[in-house]
Structure 1
Amino acid sequence: MQTLIIAGNVGKDATLRRTQGGDAVLGFSLAVDNGKDAQGNKRESTWYDCSLWGKRAESLELHIVKGSKLTLQGTPTVRVHEGNAYLGIRVQELTFMGGGQRGDKQGGYDQQDQGYGGGRSQGNGSGSADGFDTEIPF
């Protein structure tokens, strides 16, 4: 199995869709900065189409907004459309890195933000010993 870990900025607000079977899927794009070349010129960013599935998708729809800084871990994907290949990632784990805007707050999440536990979202849906309800979907 391949695992991809990337960090970058969300390009536009996430969009929640449903499959024909009713499963929730949250789609968003992430730009990964590739630094500068030997001459000091900025390299072009690499864009990834990201998908997050299930209850976590529903829960995080309003929190993944343009400019949010995220680190993602998941399975790499490639989609071909009209002869162009698009890189993607099926997200299994994500971390909010802060620095983006969310309503009246700046940056990441804390434990007061509806139980997000420091901004880390695990993919197995189980609770933990830190006192959070086991019904939290991520």
Structure 2
Amino acid sequence: MASYNRVVLVGNLTRDIELRYIPSGTAVAEIGLAVNDRVKRGDQWVDETTFVDVTLWGRTAEVANQYLNKGSSILIEGRLKLDTWEKDGQKRSKLRVVAEKMQMLGGRGEGGGGGGGSRSTGSRAPARQQDSYDSGDDGGYGGGGYDNYSSAPAAPPEDDIPF
């Protein structure tokens, strides 16, 4: 039986980043993400918020710690992981997301301070800068990060307009 474990979330950080280093020297950050959804109940639209715990590793964790804080908007791509443990004789479990890619959303000075970054954009810098970082592990499907700097195609010369 085939399986596929991929999660893409866009939300806001619920708290400041908690960065630590494991004995091997690898950075790890635990973040809380609030993802909002709007649903209709009867005649009213209601906002529902889902809170998700996310783990960032390596350079992605360090960048998040440097540039993001509570309220920052981000996009996370990763996989679900079920943690299980026993406490006081009771088995417990928690579903979390292990991030493989992170993209800071919003521009400098927007939201909770997220979005900025030190990535050089050259002449392709859009009005709203978006930076993307991945954990270096492409999850086995290629890629290697998003190219978030879209350059709109130039308008065709006037003599090429078909009408």
State TM-score, norm by structure 2.
0.61
Residue segments in structure 1 that go unaligned for 5+ positions in a row: 127-138
Instruction: Choose the corresponding residue for 2:104, options 89, 96, 112.
Output: 96
Instruction: Give the CA deviation at 1:41.
Output: 5.0
Deviations 1:20-63 (A, max 9, x none): 33321011100111212323252531111111111221232122
Does residue 11 of the first structure (1) align with residue 35 of the second (2)? Answer: no
- Count, aligned residues: 120
Q: CA deviation at 1:71?
A: 0.9
Q: Distance in 1 between matches of 2:120 and 2:74?
A: 14
Q: Distance in 2 between matches of 1:20 and 1:122?
A: 22
Percent identical residues: 24
What amino acid is the match of 1:72? I
| Larger-Rg structure | 2
Q: Which moved more, 1:67-76 or 1:117-126?
A: 117-126
Shift of the 101–69 alpha-carbon distance from structure 1 to 2, 3 Å rule, reads same
Name the CA distance, whole Å, in 1 between partners of 2:36 and 2:95.
Answer: 15
Contact 1:14 1:65 in 2 (8 A): yes
Q: Match for residue 81 of structure 2?
A: 77
User: In 1, Cα distance between the equivalents of 2:82 and 2:135?
Assistant: 21
1: CA distance, partners of 2:48 / 2:94? 15
Shift of the 116–69 alpha-carbon distance from structure 1 to 2, 3 Å rule, reads: farther
Name the Cα RMSD after superposition.
Answer: 2.7
